[in-house]
Structure 1
Amino acid sequence: MTRGLTRHIVLIGMMGAGKTAIGSELARRLRVPFTDSDAEIEAAAAMSISEIFARDGEAFFRARESQVLGRLLAGAPGVISTGGGAWMSAGNRDMIGARGLSVWLNCAPELLWQRVRQRPTRPLLQTADPKGTLLRLLAERSPVYAQAGLEFLSQAGDSIEMSTTRLIAALQAAAPDLIKEPS
């Protein structure tokens, strides 16, 4: 009585959109592996993303991110959460499209800000105007995020469980062949 996936579900979107929280709950309910690509990068580098950015720069980080994403996508289908910038790379979009369904967790700017404003672990927000930086990144990235296979709107007040229930329904409607029912 196990469920499964015919291909990966890859969650994309801004920092604070809930990719890791919703992704882990989604994987638990579907009984498939969950992997956070940022956590995999940190484990491989034996340092935090902030430390990688500080020591080696964003370009180095993005190259490692693409390598890790390729490795994850080569494995058995599961749920993968990506860093906010991973989808900006055309190569990453192609890799994800070949092996999975991309899902944009679209979140209102104020909700994103509420979730990330107290988090010092966000290297791109270590600026004089972190909220302005977040809003600029959102404006730049949204047209590219909109290329995802599925857009899922986060709703303020939704619990992780409620969001996951709505996401499963959206996935079943958009890609009926994606989730294998228990046999």
Structure 2
Amino acid sequence: MERRLNKKVEEYLILFKNEIAKRLQNIVDGLEHTNLQVGAHASICDETKFKCNSVAGFVYNYEKLRLTKDDFMKRKRIKSVVPIYDRCCAKRANGEQCTRRKKGGDTYCGTHIKGTPHSIMDEVVGEMPTTKTVKVDIWAQDIKGIIYYVDKAGNVYDTEDIMKIDKYPKRVIAKYVQDDAGNYTIPSMFGPATPSIVSAE
């Protein structure tokens, strides 16, 4: 697809450049015709011809637009995973537990507060979800111009969770990688470090 688009863009630009050159040539031809009739303005006409030719040269030598694979890639959506103890207790149509977050102090999400058409999840006796508090040192790290909160285990945390002091636990949204030069990147968000350039040939 990139090759087809690059070819189409190139054909359009060539047509555009030819039209500009044709207009400039019409100006030069008009000046030559005027120059024959009025001899006093010969130096002004020569200077204008030179400027028209230099503009035409600039237009033809202007760099072509190249589209790469990165121009067509969608940004990957980060799906938030709600912990089991914070999930709505209603059943979905397929019999599984709803994956939305509980609303406030209720046991259901905003949709299932209105009603539970497929009933609610049966609680298994003795299987209460356990939570364990672990202290993790995090810091703000600039990764490709955006500030992310990371820890030494390679986790990238959701910024909204970090900003809400009462929000536990903090959600891990991705993993970061650090290269030998000390540069940080998030492969799941930004893709590979080196983009590949596709030519129209």
User: TM-score if structure 2 supplies the norm length?
Assistant: 0.19
Structure with bigger RCO (C-alpha 8 Å, 6+ apart): 1
User: TM-score if structure 1 supplies the norm length?
Assistant: 0.21
Which one has a bigger Cα radius of gyration? 2
